[in-house]
Amino acid sequence: MNIAVYTRSERYLDCRLLAELEAAAAECGCRLFFGRDYADTVTCSSFPHIYDTLSALPEEVDFIISLGGDGTFLSCVAELRGATVPILGINSGRLGFLSSVDASSLREALGRMVSGDYTIEEHMMLEVDGRFDKEACFPHAFNEFTIKSGVGLMTVSLSIDGLEVADYSADGLIISTPTGSTAYSMSVGGPIVSPECEAFIINPIAPHNLTMRPLIVGASSAMELTVTARGEGATATLDNRSFAAGSGDRFTLRRSPRKASVVKFSDCSFYSTLRRKLMWGTNII
């Protein structure tokens, strides 16, 4: 089995963890591929196989280990640029909702992958068409698309399948996938949606009119946003990638033809992750 290791920060390249990874790979008969950008910084271990970019991985790579936190996982999905190599998230960050396997379980995780004790989940993504360099930014989101004001309120006019829905006067608007329902959308009061559901969550950020509530629409919906910014422009984001936006900008959002493949173990289900990470049902008194 051939595994590419991806990270986006040197702070995750802990020598002890890398030594554990290399030992586990040797035990399981796995070959590790490491990114060229970090090959020179890994001085405590030797990785004989190098890749240049995730979008141009050698064909023999079977899986990717995303080593870091949820931000690293999102960057991994974006840098794959639609390639469907399954990703296993190893959490060396904080919450680790997407990277649900703790670093302390790395050896066990590799053993289970080699023995076939895993499943592959296909997660739907969101495609965005707007005024930005699509080639540079990869116009697909795993978690969400957001439009946020710079200073003061903004107005975002929303239509779905050509039908006018509402003008949102707010600090911004979030369009989330089911996977992203536990991210930014949840933090502003949105519902938690199981990843196998095929839907989008439309959620205003600090709406001026308190009757504006989260809205769930079908995954086949085509959504169009028109921005009127009253202050110093606006910022649009695709997951953890951002770019400038302004008044008059329009964005069309729809279900992406691309999906992200995620490695899952039976004891790391969506619901067990809710219990562990969000402490559902835990009496904290």
Question: Could you read off the pLDDT of 7-20 as tens digits, one per residue?
Answer: 887 677 777 777 88
Q: Helix (H, G, I), strand (E, B), or coil: what is residue 23?
A: helix
The answer for residues whose C-beta is within 8 angstroms of residue 139's C-beta and 6 or more apart is: 127, 128, 129, 130, 132, 238
Strands 215-218 and 199-205: antiparallel
Region 204-227: what's the mean pLDDT? Answer: 94
Contact 281, 275 (CB under 8 A): yes
Higher pLDDT, 30 or 221: 221
Which residue among 70, 171, 239, 249 is the active-site one? 70
Region 134-147: what's the mean pLDDT? Answer: 86
- Report the candidate in 215, 221, 206, 225 with the shortest Cα–Cα distance to residue 126: 221
Question: Is residue 70 among the annotated active site residues?
Answer: yes
What is the C-alpha to C-alpha distance for residues 4 and 163, in angstroms, rounded to an integer?
45
Enumerate the H helices of the chain as residue ranges.
15-28, 36-39, 70-80, 106-115, 134-137, 184-187, 270-277
* pLDDT number for residue 186: 94
Mean of pLDDT over the chain: 88
Q: Helix (H, G, I), strand (E, B), or coil: what is residue 284?
A: coil
pLDDT higher than threshold 70 for residue 285: no
- Strands (E) across the chain are located at 2-6, 31-35, 49-51, 63-68, 87-91, 101-102, 119-129, 140-141, 144-149, 154-160, 163-170, 172-176, 199-205, 215-218, 223-229, 234-238, 241-245, 250-264
**Amino acid at residue number 91:** N
What is the C-alpha to C-alpha distance for residues 258 and 54, in angstroms, rounded to an integer?
16
* pLDDT number for residue 221: 97
pLDDT higher than threshold 60 for residue 260: yes
pLDDT higher than threshold 90 for residue 202: yes
Sign of CA dihedral 147, 150, 151, 157: negative
What is the C-alpha to C-alpha distance for residues 190 and 173, in angstroms, rounded to an integer?
12
Region 53-69: what's the mean pLDDT? Answer: 90
pLDDT higher than threshold 80 for residue 130: yes
Indicate the pLDDT class of residue 197, thresholds 50, 70 and 90.
very high
pLDDT higher than threshold 70 for residue 284: no
Two tokens at 228?
A: 């009127």
State the angle between helix axes of 15-28 and 106-115 in degrees (0 to 180), rounded to the nearest 10: 20
pTM score: 0.90
In sequence order, the β-bridge partners of residue 3 are 32, 63
